[in-house]
């Protein structure tokens, strides 16, 4: 496995996707060492001078005015971790935890957090050993950072909580023993630096982004296949139409659909059919998918910036001798990006389901009812379309922006919060629903093309049909359908259709 060197400020979405997928080991650029040492030395100097600075020798939140004695500073940091380990719900996927570890390292390594080098090395060890702290997904409001989730990460290094090693979940103490590690001894400010930050929200949002990209690429293939199954017109994808509007996403999607459809025998076969216009869900694909693509790109830019950010508090500026309390832990940018991503995915799923509904309706598609021969005896895709409709409707509720909500916490000291963690989590749910809807359309559209044999689609689309047929055979009569849907979803998840969007999507370009 390749080793990727983390250089704060330079992480790209492409790099983050590789980390998410577990394709690389990590090292830290040696260029970070001087700044890390300088900020750590500053903290030690503060402690030695008996100066009072928030987070180093005070309580936290509403208790910030409480001065803590020097001999209690390690206990202060440990108590912070233990008291904040209040998360609940299912554990985050290990792909998300990899991103949390990597981006936490990047934030701490910029020399603004006062943390000692050995603590950063511990996070690198966890990542490289495939030792993933079990982080409950619920319990953060996205300010003051992702306190509870990050506390669960750190608690494992104190010998508490739970950790997953080689797919086995064990107690934190057992995990440390298995790794040959001693429990961490947290110095002044270290617990606060580790717990403060937006890394969990951002990692969950990046996970949703990468899955949204998979869905988007799959939807390009599904949409093109559906045009073929309908014997629809390619004219709405003419570049001149889209150049006139000047929306870049729309221009890019139209061009990609033209590439996917080029050379189709099916198009030639109905050149004189007399149909004037196809339904909007077919001919407006560039307009809808292009708008979604623009949002995906914008969200990606925000999340990429945040992955390189320092978001704990207070920040140490050793060169001027300042420790300044601010609010970089407020994850509003992540919340907005996740909510916008949710809206985009909702529309990708919605237009997909509408194409599916057209294909199963013989009055609209000219295909056998529900895309199966001997309809009546066989129900074909009848209820698969109902499943897609159910998921699309569920998405409508999930898409309500979490970022417009706020609730005061910590005795009103933290009186406005971002709700970024929830925004990101529900974006992930929408990504699952959307990718399932698209999987169903892929099956239906491929079935529709197969029902037009011996006519062939384009070489590109026939290649994608062949991939589908490797895991799901042609639907000749009713059978247990759930496996087909799951196999198609897993095919897309494995990246079978990513090439369709490789030139377009932010983490693939």
**Active centre residues (catalytic):** 54
Can you tell me whether residue 28 is helix, strand or coil? strand
C-alpha 88, offset from chain centre: 20
- Max alpha carbon distance in the chain (Å)? 88
Residue whose token pair is 């809808």: 288
Distance of alpha carbon 302 from alpha carbon 294, whole angstroms = 13
Q: What is the dihedral of CA 241, 244, 245, 246, to 10 degrees?
A: 120
Contact residues for 336 (Cβ-Cβ < 8 A; gap 6+): 302, 403
Distance of alpha carbon 412 from alpha carbon 62, whole angstroms = 8
CA dihedral of 345, 347, 348, 353, whole degrees rounded to 10: 120
116: closest CA among 189, 181, 59, 51?
189
Of the candidates 145, 197, 84, which has an alpha carbon nearest to the alpha carbon of residue 418? 145
Tokens of 315: 């920040």
Contact present, 257 and 216 (Cβ < 8 Å): no
136's tokens: 């409950």
Task: Quote the tokens at residue 55.
Answer: 């987070």
Within 10 angstroms of residue 361's Cβ, the number of other Cβ atoms is 15
């Amino acid at each position: 496995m390749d080793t990727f060197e983390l250089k704060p400020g330079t992480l790209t979405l492409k790099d983050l996707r590789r980390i998410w997928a577990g394709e690389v080991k990590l090292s830290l650029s040696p260029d970070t060492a001087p700044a890390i040492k300088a900020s750590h030395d500053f903290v030690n100097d503060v402690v030695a001078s008996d100066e009072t600075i928030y987070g180093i020798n005070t309580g936290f939140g509403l208790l910030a005015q409480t001065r803590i004695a020097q001999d209690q500073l390690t206990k202060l940091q440990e108590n912070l971790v233990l008291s904040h380990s209040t998360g609940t719900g299912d554990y985050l996927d290990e792909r998300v935890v990899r991103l949390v570890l990597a981006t936490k390292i990047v934030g701490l390594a910029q020399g603004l957090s006062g943390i000692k080098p050995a603590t950063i090395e511990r996070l690198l060890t966890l990542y490289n050993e495939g030792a993933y702290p079990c982080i409950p997904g619920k319990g953060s409001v996205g300010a003051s950072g992702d306190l509870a989730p990050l506390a669960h990460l750190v608690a494992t290094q104190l010998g508490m909580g739970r950790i997953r090693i080689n797919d086995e979940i064990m107690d934190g103490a057992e995990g440390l023993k298995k790794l040959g590690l001693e429990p961490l001894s947290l110095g002044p400010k270290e617990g606060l630096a580790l717990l403060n930050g937006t890394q969990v929200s951002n990692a969950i949002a990046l996970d949703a982004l990468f899955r949204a990209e998979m869905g988007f690429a799959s939807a390009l293939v599904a949409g093109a296949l559906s045009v073929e199954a309908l014997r629809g017109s390619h004219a709405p994808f003419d570049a001149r139409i889209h150049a006139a509007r000047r929306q870049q996403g729309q221009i890019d999607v139209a061009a990609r659909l033209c590439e996917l459809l080029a050379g189709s025998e099916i198009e030639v076969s109905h050149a004189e059919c007399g149909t004037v216009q196809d339904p909007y869900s077919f001919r407006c694909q560039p307009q809808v998918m292009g708008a979604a693509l623009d949002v995906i790109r914008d969200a990606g830019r925000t999340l990429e910036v945040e992955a390189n950010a320092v978001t704990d508090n207070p920040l140490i500026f050793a060169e001027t001798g300042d420790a300044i309390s601010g609010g970089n832990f407020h994850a509003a940018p992540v919340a907005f990006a996740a909510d916008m991503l949710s809206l985009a995915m909702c529309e990708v799923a919605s237009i997909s389901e509408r194409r599916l509904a057209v294909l199963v309706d013989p009055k609209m598609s000219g295909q056998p009812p529900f895309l199966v021969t001997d309809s009546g005896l066989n129900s074909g895709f009848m209820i698969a379309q109902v499943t897609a409709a159910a998921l699309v409707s569920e998405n409508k509720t999930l898409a309500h922006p979490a970022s417009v909500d706020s609730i005061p916490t910590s005795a009103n000291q933290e009186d406005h919060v971002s709700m970024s963690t929830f925004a990101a989590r529900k974006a992930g749910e929408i990504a699952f629903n959307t990718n399932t809807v698209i999987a169903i359309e892929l099956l239906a559209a491929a079935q529709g093309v197969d029902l037009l044999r011996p006519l062939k689609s384009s070489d590109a689309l026939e290649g994608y049909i062949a991939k589908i047929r490797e895991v799901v055979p042609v639907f000749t009569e009713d059978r247990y359908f759930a496996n087909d849907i799951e196999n198609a979803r897993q095919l897309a998840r494995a990246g079978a259709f990513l090439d369709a969007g490789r030139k377009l999507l932010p983490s693939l370009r």
